[in-house]
Structure 1
Amino acid sequence: MIDVIEKLRKLPTTAISDALGGLYHLDQAIKPLKEEWKVAGKACTVKLRAADNKMLLQAMREAEEGDVLVIDARGYTYNAICGDFMVELAKVLGIAGLVIDGAVRDVQGIKAVDLPVFCRGITVAASDKAGSGEVNVPISCAGAAVHPGDLIVGDADGVVVIPQEKVEAVLAKAQEKVQKDLEREAKVLASREAAIAYLDKALGS
């Protein structure tokens, strides 16, 4: 599985999305705090009540090294799910990144930690720790169904979810898509004449 995850990490989410038929991606509002961040790994899922992040700590305790914490905070953005301390804690534990349908704070500190964090927004208010929520259960995160163990891949374009049973087929299709795109670019972008020929064919001229 580690080899598969590394191969997926090298692929753009656009190719993976194409391999999935345009399905299984999170709402486009979920983006990385730094455009260059990429993340890939198995999902450790977290379901939270708005403004309550105690179960995130439980998820960190249960997650395996290389997991991606996928956090359903219902899109609530007034209170932050975490700040730079919790993100650094996740990094020390070997977690690959966080995907949050909610907000974070201490954004400059998080960027300095340099652990990929994908979220809906940024705020200043903290959450409490009442303990509501569940860990490693099926969730809906930013419009996408996520099960524990599904593979998560994220980059500047967004985040896709690969159901466990589809991983091998999706990897093969995404790799094929990237190869075909490279071949098309080499052929079509070689000259003005080649570009015009491509356009004429595409337009049925």
Structure 2
Amino acid sequence: MSARFAIHPMPTVLDAQLVDQLGRYEAAQLADCMGKPQAAGSHLVGRHDGTRLVGCALTVRTRPGDHLMVQKAIDLARPGDVIVVDGGGFAEQALVGEIMVTLASKRRIAGFVIDGAVRDLQFLREQSLPVYSTAVCLRGPSRAGPGEINVCISVGGMQVRAGDIVVADADGVVTIPRDDVPAVLQAAEALSRKESATLQAVQSGDVDRHWVDAALHAGGCHFISGS
């Protein structure tokens, strides 16, 4: 059996309550709690109607431009799973379009995150099933393989393992390693409280801005007076 053409076991299902709790926070808040390695770059863009995405990752690594393993992932995915595809960022053949998105919706799959292209953009824009991709291209895919399912992949600069949690919104996509979920939830709650307090201070005009000049001075910034 080729290591590059294989379907690995499905990950265990994470407690749905934990997944739902993560979905209460903005993707940017979760990214701030974990750092850049778990946050996708700006080229991974939502193509749908703006519906938020949260679910467990079913990972796919495929040959650029080939969607055979993406098709199989739809068959394997459980309700609430997010199909996350490492297509190598190849932008010249679409891996997903109207038919596959419709099928995924019927099977209650949570959505797609694709480091590669999609097509049927007008259709996708009208759908509530979240689809994030790095490109749009009308050219269709091949379907011969090889590829792997449920392996560690790289998507949008993120390392994603099967069973990790995916949260995405209008700002972008973030993934949370499943073992880190309790700690991230705790950090996100603390950050949310801090941000709420800051916004209240801004609204009341009682905000402390001394830290800006302090940071400038600490960095050696020179304040040059006019002549």
TM-score, reference length from structure 1? 0.92
2:203 counterpart residue number: 189
Identify which of 120, 123, 138 aligns with 1:109.
123
In the alignment, structure 1 segments of 5+ residues that lack a partner are none
Matches within 5 A, 1:112-191: 112-191=126-205
Aligned partners of 2:209 and 2:141: how far apart in 1?
Answer: 54
Identity %: 33
Q: Is the Cα contact below 8 Å between 2:49 and 2:124 reproduced in 1?
A: no
Is 1:65 aligned to 2:69, yes or no?
no
Give runs of ≥4 in structure 1 deviating > 6 Å. Answer: none
- How well do the aligned residues superpose, as a CA RMSD in angstroms? 1.6
Q: CA deviation at 1:22?
A: 3.2
Mapped to 2, the partners of 1:184 and 1:56 lie a distance apart of 44
Choose which of 203, 209, 219 in structure 2 pairs with 1:199: 209
CA distance in 2, matches of 1:6, 1:189: 30
SS across alignment from 2:92: coil
**Secondary structure in structure 2 of the residue aligned to 1:182:** helix
My pick for the range that moved more, 10-19 or 25-34, is: 25-34
Shift in Å, 1:35: 6.5
Q: Is the 8 A contact 2:37 2:157 kept in 1?
A: no
Residue 85 of structure 1 and its aligned partner are, at CA, apart by: 0.8
Which of the residues 21, 25, 31 maps onto 1:11? 25
**Residue type of the alignment partner of 2:39:** H
Secondary structure (helix, strand or coil) at the match of 1:40 reads strand
1:98 to 112, 115, 123: 112
Alpha-carbon distance, 1:31 to partner: 1.5
> Unaligned regions of 5+ residues in structure 2, if any?
1-14, 218-227
Structure 1 letter corresponding to 2:134: R
Listed as ranges, the matches of 1:44-63 within 5 Å are 44-63=58-77
State how far apart, in whole Å, the 2-side matches of 1:109 and 1:70 are. 20
Q: CA deviation at 1:34?
A: 3.8
Give 1:139 shift: 1.0
The alignment covers a number of residue pairs equal to: 201
Question: Residue 181 of structure 1 aligns to a residue in which SS?
Answer: helix
